[in-house]
A and B are shown apart, each in its own frame.
Chain A
Amino acid sequence: MFANADGRHFDHYQTLHERFESLGATELDEKRRLVENGFLEQGITFTVYGDDQGTERIFPFDLIPRIIPDHEWQLIEKGLTQRILALNLFLHDIYHERNIIKDGLVPEDVVVGAAHYRPEMVGVDVPQDIYIHICGTDLIRNGEGRYLVLEDNGRCPSGVSYLLENREAMKRAFPGMYRQYRVRPVDNYPELLLKTLQNLCPRPGQTPVCALLTPGVYNSAYFEHTFLARKMGIEIVEGSDLIAIDGYVYMRTTKGLVQVDVIYRRLDDDFLDPTVFREDSVLGVPGIIDAYLRGNVALANAVGTGVADDKVTYAFVPDMIRYYLDQDPILENVPTYLAWREDDRKFILENLEKLVVKAANESGGYGMLMGPTSTSKEREEFAAKIRRNPRNFIAQPVVSLSRHPTICDERQIEGRHVDLRPFILYGKNIEIIPGGLTRVALRKGSLVVNSSQGGGSKDTWVLYR
């Protein structure tokens, strides 16, 4: 435990190790109950779709924090900054000049064939030229201790509220150890997020009116929506609370209509505006896209960022970094096979039992095939799907995620697979909250960390140098 592959202890885990050694069974149970009750009382829950045992659950929390030393964090920070810059330049480019396509680096089919490509955005200048204002990039650590990027979530990444609440819980449960470790704080996130939003205000010289647009109480991240709106001191609204009139968006309040400048929307493009996207959407606001295209209201993230989230686009991010920034990628990708490339497709179909196959536009661990643990029937189904629509599938080798000591059943401490989702804010500056959400696969041997698939989380401590 708390050691690398050679059995050598990590120095930065020494104090933590001693603290947990000294903890008796009753004390541990006590702390656990304290934390869990806290979560339950505050309603820090999420919803699992397609599950019949009561939809609301608390997000399982593990008491042992993950510790990231300063030098490792600096590298992550640098790598993520590089990545978000390149992704934004890419999005700007594909909706304007398309130089990267003309120069032959990214095939046009990949861009316009992406499910979330929005032709409506071609030639549109978005506020401050920023597309992805809030990004949650998933990182994993491989066998050699290097961090790799698993995916970029450039639409509506969620999880930041758990990060903030986990920290509060740890501070209460282990105040002494927390202070001893000199952990970099995270609690200014809502403030930074608000600044990021205000930076987009289309009406200069006036206090920006920001609002958070939620799909409503049935959304799995509804807790997070209320949490962030409260922390930022902005209104939380549903589609029906907003109205678009003559190209402006207003919020219905008890004192009449108030013009809204910036909307932090936690709603996918598809549902934003029934007059432009999905006609059957009752969650959106008719006319909001018109106001957006006229520049009278700003949306965060911008419309059309889903192209960058596409798992086929993901494979091209290292090329984007070299092209736009003239640098080598600091954080590498997981090797990725693209089913629409004939050679790759052949390889994928021949090696299904060794690979992880993912649909290009699904998230939350849905729509994927874990080769090694799959049945032959599942593999056949996927092979047929891949043949039918190769553009929509990618495959990656199974990367053995790093494991982290975790308290399991019977209070045993065992290694469980973890990943890391840092949150990046791109406003006037690029700010990355120290650490991120560490998700842990609580089932032994499992590599799937998604909360919807039996994952839990840990607090993540980035240390001062």
Chain B
Amino acid sequence: MRLRLHHRTEYRYSEPVSNNANELRLQPPTTLWQSCESSFISVLPGVRLSHYEDLNVNVVHYFEISQPHSRLVIDSRVTVNTKCKVNFDRLPYGFLHRDLDCCRTMEDCHPFLQNSYHVEVTPEIWRYALDIKGESEDVFQTSYAIMEHIYKNYQYQSGATNVSTHASEVLEGRKGVCQDFAHAMVALCRSLSIPARYVSGYFFDATRDHSLRGSEASHAWVEVYIDNFGWVGLDPTNNKVVDDTYIILARGRDYRDVAPVIGAYYGAGKSAMNVNVDVQRLD
């Protein structure tokens, strides 16, 4: 699927701020299932833009605006071609819980079994996860059940949480937005020793009534590791196995690793943020 995306983030500051330094993770990687045809990031006020690659192989752009300004606009324009990694007639069943031990020593999986800034596994979470797992012996089946559990029992509500909400609070309160649902799912999976990572990106809402949740801003979901298949994406906000309508931006242990825009500035002014995401299908 050829998709065109425009993601605008606009900050307005109540008083001029200065030394505004920001990091952006807005350039989609090219993988076997996604090829990034073009990606342009532009920043207003105009300033020198640079980039590096972080530990999770995400491309990070950064800039600093030193002089006082009361507005900052970051535009990302992307065209990608996506393919579906999962064959829906043959979902990746067959990897069993008792074989999960092999993941502990794999370099790719190890970081995604540990605690991270937003996700900490506790005995209570493990107990909770066991209840969802029930009789399942299959890792994909369990992961799917966790996704479904969150989708059915958690309330999608913006404003109930904020960017720094911890997974434990979400599991407790059972409400939030895509970021919180993804954190909750990562915590539950990790408590069962299923390698789980946090993915940020976008999706194209192909439904007639635009009933999917989270298309107006950048989205987040989860990838779990299945041996002999690789990472498979599951979206607890929409109860979907990730297909070619999804665009991956960055992957990491949790939100803190992949935040699309993160920055700090000097100044006492309050900032108001406005995000707009528009995904169009081109072919």
Contact = CB atoms under 8 A, between A and B. Distances in A.
Q: Do A and B bind each other?
A: yes
Given A97-B67, A99-B48, A326 B38 contact: no
Contacts of A89: 42-44, 46
Contact of A326 (B4, B61, B65, B67): B61
A57 B218 CA distance: 54
B40 A81 contact: yes
A204 to B, nearest CB: 15
Interface string B65-84: 10101000100010000000
A429 interface: yes
Nearest to A93: B46
B51 A326 contact: yes
B45 A103 contact: no
B44 A74 contact: no
B38 A81 contact: yes
B241 interface: no
B6 interface: yes
A324 interface: yes
A78 B46 contact: no
B199 to A, nearest CB: 24
Contacts of B46: 89-90, 92-93, 96-97, 99-100, 324
A78 B79 CA distance: 10
A430 B51 CA distance: 24
Nearest to A96: B45
A85 B42 CA distance: 7
B47 interface: yes
B37 A78 contact: yes
A78 B45 contact: no
A324 B49 contact: yes
Contacts of A326: 41, 49-51, 61
Interface residues of B, number: 22
B77 A430 contact: yes
A103 B48 contact: yes
A323 B43 CA distance: 11
Contacts of A336: none
A325 interface: yes
A428 B5 CA distance: 12
Contacts of B47: 93, 97, 99, 324
Interface in A176-195: none
A100 B47 CA distance: 7
A86 to B, nearest CB: 8
B139 to A, nearest CB: 39
A88 B43 CA distance: 11
A328 interface: no
Interface in B1-30: 4, 6
A326 B40 CA distance: 9
A220 interface: no
Contacts of B73: 129
A452 interface: no
Nearest to A86: B42
B40 A323 contact: no
A323 B48 contact: yes
Interface in A314-328: 323-327
Contacts of A93: 45-47
A78 B39 CA distance: 9
Contact of B45 (A81, A85, A97, A430): A97
14 contacts: A78-B38, A81-B38, A85-B77, A92-B44, A93-B45, A96-B45, A99-B48, A324-B47, A325-B41, A325-B42, A326-B49, A327-B40, A429-B4, A429-B77
**In the A-B complex, the 10 residue pairs with the closest CB atoms:** A93-B46, A326-B49, A89-B46, A78-B38, A97-B45, A99-B47, A85-B42, A326-B51, A92-B46, A323-B48
Interface of B: 4, 6, 37-38, 40-51, 61, 65, 67, 69, 73, 77
Given A93-B45, A100-B46, A428-B6, 17 more contacts: A81-B40, A81-B77, A85-B40, A85-B42, A89-B46, A93-B46, A93-B47, A97-B46, A97-B47, A97-B65, A99-B46, A99-B47, A103-B48, A129-B44, A325-B49, A326-B50, A430-B77
